[in-house]
Structure 1
């Protein structure tokens, strides 16, 4: 028994010794959540100059470009690879390529970041959407729709196609169904002003497939999950399906004349976020026809879905940030004072977007992009972009794999 026990003790001692030696030689474990995904990018436009800055947050580096005009709105396309740059007041849409291409489990480098050859020349391109590989703008100046394809971004002298659906000029919007048809707003002049009152469904030629069946007191803001399109409306939440059926979901009790002027898409089928600065953010479920509060406040400065549409981020004028899981509506993260407080009457307010790991907020007065770790509020970087950053969009992929 003594021999057996001695051998056991010897083996245990040797095991501990070798394990200790092995751990000494092992590389330190890296917490990937402390860094952004390798293939994610941030594109930032400028208010007073044509400066366009592409930020690589993984390396904390920037690359500078010159857009055709200042104060451009910028949006990421369906694939995540390209951006559309809308110069509303100059009747121009440009395209931009990150040079990154997603292949399911990794990303290929397809070239250097650069402007695309594809452009759009239309009257006041304002509302942007991108689905099924298409790049679309609704043109407020004449009520037309412009369509381009991501596959044509680098085709020499490529132009977006204009689709005329016989609409009056108005401040409109469109959304794409999974079957390739479009829900598009129309104005019948039943209310004064630029806002439309109706929605109809058209094909790629502009031909009407399903006429409007509901007239509203004004429409602004919309989103789609491919089967349903949801529009913010003064008469209620307007829901249009891909077969032409239309119905209104009532606003929450106590809204009075307040309505959702912004509708956001989520990763959940049939679920959308409705936002109004007067009340806050609410989850709209078109399948159950219910509206539930997510965060009620009249102090929201920015309300955005995460890059993967699984969370909702709220940035308050106080500088506080809070995010919610859009599946459970539970708080996902909450940090106090991620930036300094912003006056409600500020001319140019900070703009915010966020990924799974980081929050990105522009600083218009210092010309910086502030990069904040969602899990560690003390982890803050400030990256110089341009003198007066105006708008930003996340591009690329939440992926660090190479070919």
Structure 2
């Protein structure tokens, strides 16, 4: 009994010491302030085919070659793949980070590499991702190209084309949780390439709900899976998954200004126009509230976690807002002022821990800690960084 009691007490003491040590290590771990282990930053170049994959935690940079320079880059919702859209060259490519999210941990699947799948749609432009599905709108003929991540590495794989009977236009789309798609259409009532309407189709391209609201031009959209918002000169077009449509009016002082960009983060919508600034859009109450009422915004992005709005001004000041409360969390001047006439301006992306800003004239990415904006460093990439995307998973957990 005494011996058992002794070992029991000893085991308890050891466990307490270990737990205490773990807690102490957690509190003083120098790695805590670093970027998440499974986050990467994908950067394309304006003049060369160089594509840089940055591990911001270690500073390592892997350089690969895309098919063409000057690609727009995006992240799949799963975080595993970065998508390169070569609009002028009618090509979409997928890059595999090898980081597979399993909720409580991240698996590493091989080494970073190009996926096999491509798309050759006409003028691929607008990107969306829903779960593991990639969706591209082709401006050249108004079609959609879609693909599932499970097919990305199939040799010779091509994205599936959906024809919705559209005319060519500068369009957009999104996917609802019920599997239907909201897609723009052009009825010719307004001159130019912008569409005027939105309809809802199924995966075969068949119309399920017709447009009931005609606008004077649509650009920019976002969705939380239940409702989709489209920027429109006549107001913010709201399209429900059941086909119901309505307009939310812009603030009274907007004049002719309208939101050409709509962002979404964890169910919160933000409208942005360079003419007026960034505004929260309360869909339920048809209310539009300013976050940053400014004509000086150069970049406006929702961070990778979907919790913060990050705004970079031409003055070089960055401002970080809590999306849920619309409160300014931090602000600081982090780069030199940028002339509004500058052709290639710095580009911004962010995680919940760090900001990433391209430096087109020095071939660098500036990495800035959000909690302490004095903590910043540069990472050398290609000569003329063009676009960047955060990919991967905000996690340090391995299998």
- TM-score, L = length of structure 1: 0.92
How is 1:305-324 mapped onto 2 (pairs within 5 angstroms)?
Answer: 305-324=302-321
- How far 1:381 sits from its partner (Å)? 1.0
Q: C-alpha distance in 2, partners of 1:88/1:118?
A: 16
How is 1:1-150 mapped onto 2 (pairs within 5 angstroms)?
Answer: 29-150=28-149
Q: 2:366 is matched with which residue: 357, 367, 370?
A: 370
How is 1:1-400 mapped onto 2 (pairs within 5 angstroms)?
Answer: 29-268=28-267, 271-335=268-332, 337-400=333-396
Indicate the SS of the match to 1:278. Answer: coil
Could you list the per-position Cα deviations for residues 24-52 of structure 1 after superposition, in whole angstroms to 9, with x for gaps in the alignment?
A: xx768125552000000000000000000
CA RMSD of aligned residues (A): 1.4
Moved over 4 A (4+): none
Q: C-alpha distance in 2, partners of 1:364/1:73?
A: 15
Q: C-alpha distance in 1, partners of 2:386/2:140?
A: 23
- 1:44/1:393 contact within 8 Å kept: yes
Indicate the SS of the match to 1:349. Answer: coil
Consecutive unaligned residues of structure 1, counting only runs of 5 or more, are 1-18
Equivalent residue for 2:13? none
- 1:33/1:357 contact within 8 Å kept: no
- 1:132/1:178 contact within 8 Å kept: no
Q: C-alpha distance in 2, partners of 1:378/1:221?
A: 34
Could you list the per-position Cα deviations for residues 250-273 of structure 1 after superposition, in whole angstroms to 9, with x for gaps in the alignment?
A: 0011111110000001113xx310
- TM-score, L = length of structure 2: 0.93
- How far 1:402 sits from its partner (Å)? 0.9
Q: C-alpha distance in 1, partners of 2:141/2:107?
A: 40
Could you list the per-position Cα deviations for residues 196-236 of structure 1 after superposition, in whole angstroms to 9, with x for gaps in the alignment?
A: 00000000110000000010000000000101000000010
Report which of the two structures shows the higher radius of gyration computed on alpha carbons. Answer: 1
Could you list the per-position Cα deviations for residues 94-138 of structure 1 after superposition, in whole angstroms to 9, with x for gaps in the alignment?
A: 111000111111111111000000111110000000103210110
Indicate the SS of the match to 2:281. Answer: strand
- 1:86/1:94 contact within 8 Å kept: yes
Could you list the per-position Cα deviations for residues 338-360 of structure 1 after superposition, in whole angstroms to 9, with x for gaps in the alignment?
A: 11111100010000001111100
Q: C-alpha distance in 1, partners of 2:237/2:179?
A: 20
Q: C-alpha distance in 2, partners of 1:83/1:132?
A: 14
Consecutive unaligned residues of structure 2, counting only runs of 5 or more, are 1-16
Q: C-alpha distance in 1, partners of 2:140/2:330?
A: 42
Q: C-alpha distance in 1, partners of 2:282/2:376?
A: 36
- 1:363/1:389 contact within 8 Å kept: yes
Q: C-alpha distance in 2, partners of 1:42/1:324?
A: 22
